[in-house]
């Protein structure tokens, strides 16, 4: 079984400031890790994922996340946020097996202020 903890339910930040959204997980097996973004009244969009290989993964809109196995973390970062980044962000984990069920964290609401 896996579990995901997103320590911050809300993160307010000013535009152009850096941000880190924290995600820790627990699992008894090797995992795949994901970050999804949800804009108001919309479904989830995959932001980035770690499957294997390089522990630093990047998205096309400036976010990155680093898989840290020893700390069981997969924090999401962006060096300079925009108003349009305001959304709910979900960290998710799945075991790297045929079942591959996703377990979601509680979500972090990123609120970017002008």
Partner 1 sequence: GAVVSQHPSRVICKSGTSVKIECRSLDFQATTMFWYRQFPKKSLMLMATSNEGSKATYEQGVEKDKFLINHASLTLSTLTVTSAHPEDSSFYICSARVRPGQETQYFGPGTRLLVL
Residues forming the site for partner 1 (CB under 8 A) = 32, 34, 36, 41-46, 49, 51, 90, 94, 96-98, 100-102, 104-107, 109
d(CA 21, CA 44): 17
Q: How many helices (H) and strands (E) does the chain have?
A: 0, 12
Q: Which is nearer to partner 1, 8 or 15 (CB)?
A: 8
Q: Please state the closest distance from residue 53 (CB atom) to partner 1, in A.
A: 13
* 7/108 Cα distance (integer angstroms): 8
Within 13 Å of residue 98, how many CA atoms lie on the same side as its CB? 0
- Nearest residue (CB) to partner 1, 12 versus 79: 12
Of 15 and 32, the one with the shorter C-beta distance to partner 1 is 32
Q: What is the DSSP letter of 64?
A: E
| Measured distance CA(68)–CA(54) in Å, rounded | 11
As measured in angstroms, the least distance from the Cβ of 79 to partner 1 is 26
The residue among 18 and 69 lying less far from partner 1, judged by its C-beta, is 69
Nearest approach, Cβ of 34 to partner 1 (angstroms)?
A: 8
Distance of closest approach, residue 10 Cβ to partner 1, in angstroms: 10
> Strand, coil or helix: what is 84?
helix
């Amino acid at each position: 079984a896996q579990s995901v903890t997103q320590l911050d339910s809300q993160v307010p930040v000013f535009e152009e400031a850096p941000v880190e959204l924290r995600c820790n997980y627990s699992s008894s097996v090797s995992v795949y890790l994901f970050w999804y973004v949800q804009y108001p009244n919309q479904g989830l969009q995959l932001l980035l994922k770690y499957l294997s290989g390089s522990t630093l993964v990047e998205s096309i809109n400036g976010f990155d996340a680093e898989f840290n196995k020893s700390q069981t973390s997969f924090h999401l970062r962006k060096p300079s946020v925009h108003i349009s980044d305001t959304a709910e962000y979900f960290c998710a984990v799945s075991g790297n097996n045929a079942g591959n069920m996703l377990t979601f964290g509680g979500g972090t609401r990123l609120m970017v202020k002008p």
